[in-house]
Amino acid sequence: MAAPRSRADSACAESAGSAQPPGGGGREAAAGGLKAAEMATKRLARLLGMARSGGRSGGAAEQRFGFGFLLVLDFESTCWRDARQRRPEIIEFPAVLLNAATGRIEAEFHTFVQPQEHPVLSEFCTTLTGVTQNQVDEGVPLNICLSQFLKWLERIQKEKQFLFSSDIPSNAIPEAKLCTFVTWTDWDLGVCLHYECKRKQLRKPDIFNSWIDLKATYRAFYNRKPKGLSGALQDLGLSFVGREHSGLDDSRNTARLAWRLICDGCVLKITKSLDKSYPRKNLISRTLNTNSADKTLLESSSSLETSGDRPCKANSLAERNHNGAAGIMQLKD
């Protein structure tokens, strides 16, 4: 008798759902908004009976429950063709919420961000990312963007009833839905947002301190090096949908790839944490009862909108040294 299939297994054999439309919206006011939004998240944890009551135990919670939702990010930043040393600033801030049990994108956040250090976009940047000068001029500074994002996240958390693993103690109820960030490489959260907040003396919310690097996960799980996000999809018989180097399209594309990994039996785990207390261990594993039929996945029927490879990202010298990059321009592939 065949073993009963999980909800995720059943969903893998069907088409992924349609994406929802995107949402979104003085330094002192923005800082207050960030703090208020984080406090609201903690209040939600208490309402669910899962407020943290001791040391950090995100790794334990992750192992016990797995992730019910994945919040996929793909920032676009200022960039230049020449090799002069310039620091990247976020100009497009997208996020898509993937239901890890069904493969559906259930919510989206998207806004354009005003660069402050180099407010005029290069022609190279606009051509590569599709982001125009008018879009960033009508956008918001990064501190306001972070405040808007946390308010959006608070609303979505209440609606979907999920928390981040760092907010859940080891004795949390089994029904808890966990969420974590997913990116393609460590650049978005480990370099770009991290150093921009430092330079601009902005308080970065703690939830951005850990994430899943899907490129590293893909490479370990399939035992092959992907040729960019587009190449990773193509290797699996999938094609991305949308505009390459669009932050929102790349986020949708990364979500689609994450869903394929789940369907192929990959157990997604945190691969990077800036929190020194987070457990360091083998973070990528394969389930033992992977159904080979699940590997023939929903290519044409999938309506998750995706895009392709990664744009060049310009790093400062200090950031390049920290991230181990060799040149001024860093290609996220």
Segment among 105-114, 119-128, 175-184, 255-264 with least mean pLDDT: 175-184
Cβ atoms of residues 151 and 111 within 8 Å: no
At position 152, the amino acid (one-letter code) is W
Question: In the predicted model, is pLDDT for residue 244 greater than 80?
Answer: yes
Does residue 305 carry a catalytic annotation?
Answer: no
297 — pLDDT class (breaks 50, 70, 90): very low
Pull the structure tokens for residue 259: 């869903």
Q: Pick 211 or 332 by higher pLDDT.
A: 211
pLDDT at 85: 76
Of 52 and 176, more confident: 176
Pick from 333, 310, 309, 100: nearest CA to 215 = 333
Mean pLDDT in residue range 47-61:
41
Res 31: pLDDT: 52
**DSSP for 272-293?**
EES-TTSPPS---EE-TT--GG
pLDDT of 48 above 70: no
Which residues, in sequence order, are CB contacts of 159 under 8 Å at separation 6+? 107
Q: Which of 62, 244, 245, 319 is catalytic?
A: 245
> Do residues 72 and 251 lie in contact, with contact meaning Cβ atoms separated by under 8 Å?
yes
- Between the ranges 27-31, 172-176, 200-204, where is the mean pLDDT highest? 200-204
Distances (CA, A) of 174 to 96, 165, 168, 266, 289: 25, 13, 11, 21, 22
Nearest to 179 by CA among 154, 202, 196, 204: 154
Q: What is the DSSP letter of 208?
A: G
The pLDDT, as a whole number, for residue 252 is: 97
Is pLDDT larger for residue 41 or for residue 306? 41
pLDDT score, position 12: 74
Q: Three-state SS for 7? A: helix
Question: 254, 183 in Cβ contact below 8 A?
Answer: yes
Phi, psi of 73 (to 5 degrees): -120, 145
Residues 329/307, Cβ–Cβ less than 8 Å? no
- One DSSP character per residue, 150-185 reads HHHHHHHHHHHTEEEGGG--TT--TTPEEEEEEESS
Residue 276 pLDDT:
72
**88 touches 200 (CB < 8 A):** no
Cβ pair 22, 244 in contact under 8 A = no
Distance separating alpha carbons of residues 141 and 119, to the nearest angstrom: 11
127-163 tens-digit pLDDT? 999 999 999 999 999 999 999 999 999 999 999 999 9
Contact partners, residue 120, CB within 8 Å, separation at least 6: 133
Whether the pLDDT of residue 327 is over 60: the answer is no
DSSP-derived letter for residue 217 is H
Spatial distance between the Cα atoms of 291 and 295, rounded to a whole number of angstroms: 7
* Average predicted confidence (pLDDT) for the chain: 75
**245 catalytic per annotation:** yes
> Is the pLDDT confidence value at 46 over 70?
no
Above 50 in pLDDT, residue 319? Answer: no
Higher pLDDT, 104 or 82: 104
Per-residue model confidence (pLDDT) at position 6: 54
- Catalytic entry in 76, 89, 244, 305: 76
Q: Which of 104, 287, 56, 73 is nearest to 194 (CA)?
A: 73
Q: Are 268 and 188 in contact (CB under 8 A)?
A: no
pLDDT at 280: 57
Tell me what pLDDT residue 86 has: 87
Structure-block tokens of residue 234: 């193509």
- Contact between 54 and 273 under an 8 Å Cβ cutoff? The reply is no
